[in-house]
Amino acid sequence: MPSTAPGPEGTGLERVPDLDSLHLLLRVAATGSLGRAGAAHGISQPATSARIRTMERLVGFPLVERGARGSTLTPAGALLADWARDVLTAADVLAAGITSLRADTEARLRVAASLTVAEHLLPRWLVRLATDRPETAVSLTAVNSTAVERAVLAATADLGFVEGPTLSPGLDAQVVARDRLVAVVAPTHPWARRRSPVTAAELAATRLVCREPTSGTRTALDAALAAHGTRAAPLLELSTATAVRAAVAAGAGPAVLSHLAVHDDLTSGRLAEVPVTGATLTRRLRAVWPHGQRPGGPARDLLRIATRRDRAAPQDRGPLA
C-alpha cells in the first residue's frame, strides 16, 4: 500500500510509493507478469493489479502495460524502477545499520549503582540476568547516589540504582527494595551497654563516623535528623561503608549505616546495634532512568528482576509498594 503519511509540504514526497510497493514494481519488471510478480510477493494477481493501479494514481502516470503475452513497464515505469533500485538499496543499508545498533544495545548493559546496592543487592540480580541473557555483557560502576544520577542523565549508564531520599530533576524511578539505617558501635563502646535507646536528638548531637555528604546513606540520615536540632560535625568522613565499618569496629565512634551493609558484622558480634527512637530511619532503594525513557532490552530485564517479589533477598527488603 502507498504511504498515507503526509510528506513535507511542497517536497513531492506525498507522491512517493512505499518500499513494499516499489519492491512489487521491480518484481513485475523482472518477471514480465502480474501473476508471477504477485506470487513472488506473496499476494494474488488481483491484489497485484490493485496495488499497481494505486501506485499509478499516486505517481500520476501509467507504470505497467498489460498485454496478452504479459506485462511490461512503460517507459516512465521503467525509469521509476531504476530510481527505486537506488532507494531500496539505501533502505537495505539503513535496515542493516538499525539491526547492528539494536544488536549492540542488546549485547551490553551499563549499570551505575550506589555502593550499598552494588555490594549487597546487585550481585544476585546480575547472576539472574546472566542466566536469562547470557549474551549480554554488563559493566557496573559503583559510586554514590549523586554520581549515579549524573551518569544516568549523561547517558553513560543505561540504568541506575540510588538510595537517597530525593531525585534530581529529569529522572523517573521505581522502588526496588526498602532498607533501614541502624546506629552501630564497637562492642566496647558505652552505647553498646545502654539499657535505653538513643534519642534522635542525641544522635544528631553526636559526632559520628559518616559517609561523604553526597552519599545516599548520608543524605537519608541528614533528612531523618533534620528536625532534631543542629547536627554535630562529623567525627570522620569516609567514602565507603567498608571504611566506616572498620573505623567503628576499631573504636572510632558511632555510625549510622544500612542494615544491608552491617548485617554480617552484627551477626558476628564485630559491631553492636543501638536502638534509636524519635526518627524514621527507613528508606527506599530505587532504580532510575531518564524521564520518559522507560528502560528496554537488558535494562528492562534487570529492572524486572530487581522488583520481583519472590526473589531471594535480605530480611530488610520490605514491601515495594
Q: What's the pLDDT score for residue 315?
A: 38
pTM of the model: 0.62
Taking residues 295-302, what's their average pLDDT? 93
Q: Decide which of 321 and 253 is more confident.
A: 253
pLDDT above 70 covers a percentage of the chain that reads 89
Q: How far apart are the first and last CA of the chain?
A: 47
Q: What's the pLDDT score for residue 11?
A: 56
- Band of pLDDT at residue 93, cut at 50, 70 and 90: confident
Q: What's the pLDDT score for residue 9?
A: 52
**Residue 97 pLDDT more than 80?**
no
Taking residues 268-292, what's their average pLDDT? 95
**Residue 7 pLDDT more than 60?**
no
- Band of pLDDT at residue 320, cut at 50, 70 and 90: very low
SS3 string of the chain? CCCCCCCCCCCCHHHCCCHHHHHHHHHHHHHCCHHHHHHHHCCCHHHHHHHHHHHHHHHCCCCEEEECCEEEECHHHHHHHHHHHHHHHHHHHHHHHHHHHHHHHHHEEEEEECHHHHHHCHHHHHHHHHHHCCCCEEEEEECCHHHHHHHHHCCCCCEEEECCCCCCCCEEEEEEEEEEEEEEECCCCHHHHCCCCEEHHHHHHCCCEEECCCCHHHHHHHHHHCCCCCCCCCCEEECCHHHHHHHHHCCCCCEEEEHHHHHHHHHHCCCEEECEECCCCEEEEEEEEECCCCCCHHHHHHHHHHCCCCCCCCCCCCCCC
Q: What's the pLDDT score for residue 106?
A: 59
User: What digits encode the pLDDT tens for the residues 131-170?
Assistant: 988 989 999 999 999 999 999 999 999 999 999 888 999 9
Q: What's the pLDDT score for residue 316?
A: 39
Q: Closest Cα to residue 71, out of 42, 54, 48, 55?
A: 48
Taking residues 204-220, what's their average pLDDT? 93
Q: What single-letter amino acid sits at 278?
A: G
**Residue 96 pLDDT more than 90?**
no
Average pLDDT, the chain: 88
Report the DSSP pairing between strands 282-290 and 198-199: unpaired
Q: What's the pLDDT score for residue 66?
A: 85
Which grid coordinates are listed for 233? 560535625
Q: What's the pLDDT score for residue 303?
A: 96
**Residue 251 pLDDT more than 80?**
yes
Q: What's the pLDDT score for residue 198?
A: 96
